Structure 1
Amino acid sequence: MVIILLNNIQSAATLGVIWGIMALGVYLTYRVLNYADLTVDGSFTLGGAMSAVYISAGIAPILSILLATLGGMIAGLVTGVLHTKFKIPDLLAGILCQFALYSVNLRVMGKANVSLLNVDTIFSQIEKLGVPSQWSGLIVGLIFVIILIILMYCFFGTEIGCALRATGNNPDMVKAQGTNTKIMVVLGLVIGNGLVAMSGGLLAQYQGYADIQMGVGTIVFGLAAVIIGEVIFSKRTYFHRLAGVIIGSIVYRIIIALVLLLGQRLNFEDTLGFRIEANDTKLITAIIVVICLVSPSIKSWILSNRSKEDA
């Protein structure tokens, strides 16, 4: 049981790191820009589709990741242009792009899924260097995450990065400083969806296939990671926020894995009349997000009641 538990935690941590890259993209659009971008469900699948197709065509795995990232950036660019130039509301612009990307992804793959069986991936190349297969996913994911966090932290300290952050906090002030907020919104969407597509490309290589449905619920998973990270990390420096997103993604995946494992090991069907199955993942996700969202309100309510009692 202990070995099974450790294996599940390790697999969950690996998925958490890979999905954490996607969560960084969601954090950029949702928290930094204050923009609810639903394009990510489609751009995640686009990244996986492009990566799988390029690898199958003989392109180097790392290059396929970069090309997948570029594809996601183009998707973000389209969403940004629809919103800023054509005045389409942010939610509707994201929905339209997500809707269109379903057909685009099918065109890219040529079918509903693409298998990477017996094809070299970035993970198999790492394994050839002597890295155990059970650790290759985590090591590759951590390398990507560390590089991305450093780059994003440095970027947020630049003049453009500060303007991007200010656009989400106070767009009127940014306009008064002579900065074009529309360009900042488009830039944020481009970078955010690029990160999401990169995550999709890595996941496709890690799991050995790309599927048309692999991006369903991406925005919810990303929000869960962001919110859990904010609950865990009380400090508000940008480095802690970025690291918190990754930690939140890992914690979220471990919680899901443990709940499913307990559901299989403990017989809830006899006591409660139901079994916890893999199909319940989205329900569990929704519950986790709700708990994280209401926990600050509950905490403040408890503290206010205590202060009233003390008074």
Structure 2
Amino acid sequence: MSLYELLGTVEVGLIFGLVALGAFITFRILDFPDLTVEGSFPLGAAVAAILIVNFGWNPWPATLVAAIAGFGAGFVTAFLNVRFNILHILSGILVSISLYSINLRVMSGPNKPLLGAHTIFSAVQGWGIPAYILSPLLLAVIILSIKVLLDLFLHTGLGMNMRAAGANPAMAAANGVNVGRMKLLGLGMANALTALAGAMFAQSFGAADAYMGIGVIIIGLASVIVGMSILPVRTIAQATLACLFGAMLYRFAVAFSLNADFLGLKASDVQLVTAILVVVTLVGQSSRSGMGKLLKRKSS
């Protein structure tokens, strides 16, 4: 793997670290299996691309608006579940398939090129250092800053209420926590992070596409599962760090698999590699758990 490919893998891993943080909020904090992300990821890309290319917006506020659009998508999913008691998985599916049509309308077609347009990565051009080196550094600063802000939020009173609503909804409600509002806020935040990742991904690779959200939910879950199975997660800060680490490890595993000629894999096999990676991780977790129980029985 060349230096260019290595840094490119790091860049993608950092971007999908935001997706992993979003999956951490929905699946780990709120215990809400959210499938909206497959629509909110391309939504963020579409909104940012249109604002930058068609309306000449500065890429930074355009990226922020993309995140706000993602928040709205997550909010609608939670609203369907909280207000109308629609099953959480079905709520996510309904919003996700709706977003497919919305994204096509936003871009007036299946894709929107960004080649030659100013992006957030334009800020690091002309510094005398290749952009493929500075771009991952810029992303690292942004993603780590978001991670720290999320850690701080989850330790506030509002964040503690959200964690309580996910851990034990009945007990949280009995203590005055509005569980429905926590779902609205949590899913909005998670999809805002996912849409932000989509906006950055489109600007990094020069195009937004209506199909770029396919498999995003699996990537987010794989990152969370892999990261939290390898690193210790005794605190929220460690858990969010594990999610970012898992996203990075996932991208490197995929890159290694696709670059290993002896395996005979192609770019179209990415989803297969992802599924195998998640299965191996889950099997490894269950094996360690079973071995731990066996050792305890023998020691007793």
Q: CA deviation at 1:47?
A: 0.2
Cross-structure match for 1:146: 144
Amino acid at match of 2:195: A
Cross-structure match for 2:291: 302
Query: Kindly, what percent of the aligned residue pairs are identical?
Result: 37
Amino acid at match of 2:10: A
Is 1:92 the counterpart of 2:90? The answer is yes
Change (3 A) 1:308 1:163: closer
Amino acid at match of 1:158: T
SS at match of 1:85: helix
Amino acid at match of 2:87: P
CA shift digits 1:58-113 (9 cap, x unpaired)? 10011111000010001011111100001100000000000100000001000111
Cross-structure match for 1:55: 52
- Structure 2 regions of 5+ residues with no counterpart? none
Amino acid at match of 1:119: A
Q: For 1:188, which of 186, 189, 205 is the aligned residue?
A: 186
Number of equivalences = 299
Residue pair 2:258, 2:265 contacting (<8 A) in 1 also: yes
Q: CA deviation at 1:309?
A: 6.1
Is 1:24 the counterpart of 2:21? The answer is yes
Give the 5 Å matches for 1:156-175. 156-175=154-173
Q: CA deviation at 1:304?
A: 3.8
Is 1:286 the counterpart of 2:275? The answer is yes
Change (3 A) 1:131 1:163: farther
C-alpha RMSD over aligned residues: 1.4
Cross-structure match for 1:271: none
Cross-structure match for 1:76: 74
Is 1:9 the counterpart of 2:6? The answer is yes
Q: Distance in 2 between matches of 1:107 and 1:30?
A: 30
Q: CA deviation at 1:291?
A: 1.1
Cross-structure match for 2:258: 260
Q: Distance in 2 between matches of 1:310 and 1:9?
A: 46
The answer to which of 298-307 and 135-144 deviates more is 298-307
Q: Distance in 2 between matches of 1:279 and 1:176?
A: 49
Q: Distance in 1 between matches of 2:128 and 2:50?
A: 27
Q: Distance in 1 between matches of 2:297 and 2:90?
A: 45
Q: TM-score, normalised by structure 2?
A: 0.96
SS at match of 2:57: coil
- Structure 1 regions of 5+ residues with no counterpart? 269-274
Q: TM-score, normalised by structure 1?
A: 0.93
Cross-structure match for 1:111: 109
